[in-house]
Amino acid sequence: MSFRKEFVVEPGSRCRLDAIDPAYTGKHGSEEAAQDAIAGDLARLAKLQFRLYAENRRSLLIVLQAPDAGGKDGTVRHVFGALNPQGASVHAFKVPTAEEAAHDFLWRIHAATPGRGQIAIFNRSHYEDVLVPRVHHTLPKETIVKRYDRINEFEKNLTQAGTVILKFYLHISPDEQLRRFEQRLEDPHKQWKISDADYAERAYWDDYRKAFEDAFEQTSTKRAPWFVIPANHKWFRNLAVARIVTDALDELDMKFPEPSVDIEEMRAKYHAAAAKG
């Protein structure tokens, strides 16, 4: 079974996160055993990006969501670091600025979506504007339900314009999150990432779980599916995300465009220039 089929949230289905093992690695026994597969997928990803860029007809939007310390930054670095920055961008959506908050909640998102030939990675996304208000009760329930509809229409509009959308939830356990917090405390190069909010939000773990499950049920569609990736093991997370992305790009059967000049004429010019030295 492919990772796409194994980890997808089927449209309309109810995903139970507490029934999914975040330490799952399937048939891959260790990081060492998976290294060749990961390297192969990253090389394939780079080649497919080049084809996407050259074809200049479609684009790719990657959405990354996870609990704090869930591995969004690591996924950007270890998976999407294989991309040519000329054709890729990363956008981190934090608390809206005053200007952003003065507009509708999708205003700041639309400006960051990828143009033709481009790949955009969202480190957090428009889903923050349904998850956080749901957990902290800052918006009425009916407003959040309407936002699901807005999101579905927004993503439908993007896909009809030629954007492939893949949405990943990086699934870790509460114990793994706490272990990663400890690592940050002990590593001087990561201490800057720790905040009081990290520990405060742990009190809402079950509330966020239910909020994510509702979001998956309402917004996982065939055109913009959600994938729940077991992410306690970072190497397996990288393997699964890279494989799903490359398989999706492969399915596009992208073609290089025809040359805009007469190749034989260009060859003749080249040989004439080379003969002159």
The parent domain of residue 44 ranges over 3-276
pLDDT at 1: 67
Residue 253: both structure tokens together: 């059967």
CA distance 116 to 54: 10
CA distance 266 to 45: 31
> What are the E-state strand segments in 78-211?
88-92, 119-123, 163-171
234 class by beta-carbon count within 10 Å (0-12 exposed, 13-18 middle, 19+ buried): middle
CA distance 4 to 231: 15
- The region that residue 51 occupies, defined by phi over 0 for left and psi between -120 and 50 for alpha, beta otherwise, is alpha
pLDDT in tens, the chain (277 residues): 699 999 999 999 999 999 999 999 999 889 999 999 999 999 999 999 999 999 999 999 999 999 999 999 999 999 999 999 999 999 999 889 999 999 999 999 999 999 999 999 999 999 999 999 999 999 999 999 999 999 999 999 999 999 999 999 999 999 999 999 999 988 888 888 888 777 888 999 999 999 999 999 999 999 999 999 999 999 999 999 999 999 999 999 999 988 888 888 889 888 888 888 6
Tell me the CATH number at 183: 3.40.50.300
- Sign of the Cα torsion 238, 240, 242, 245 reads negative
pLDDT at 277: 66
State how many domains the chain has. 1
Contacts of 259 (CB under 8 A, 6+ apart): none
Please choose, from the candidates 168, 186, 177, 58, the residue with its C-alpha nearest in 3D space to the C-alpha of residue 123.
168
pLDDT at 219: 98
CA distance 265 to 154: 47
Count other Cβ atoms within 10 Å, centred on residue 130. Answer: 25
pLDDT at 19: 97
